[in-house]
Amino acid sequence: MKKRVFGKTGIKVSEVGLGTWQLGTDWGEVTEEESLSVLSDAIDKGVTFIDTADVYGAGRSEMSIGKVLKKRKEKLFVASKVGRWHNPGWPENLTLDNMRIQIENSLERLDLDVLDLIQL
Catalytically annotated residues: 56
User: Long-range CB contacts (< 8 A, 24+ apart) of 90-96?
Assistant: 94/120
∠ CA 53-61-114, nearest 5°, is 60
d(CA 78, CA 101): 18
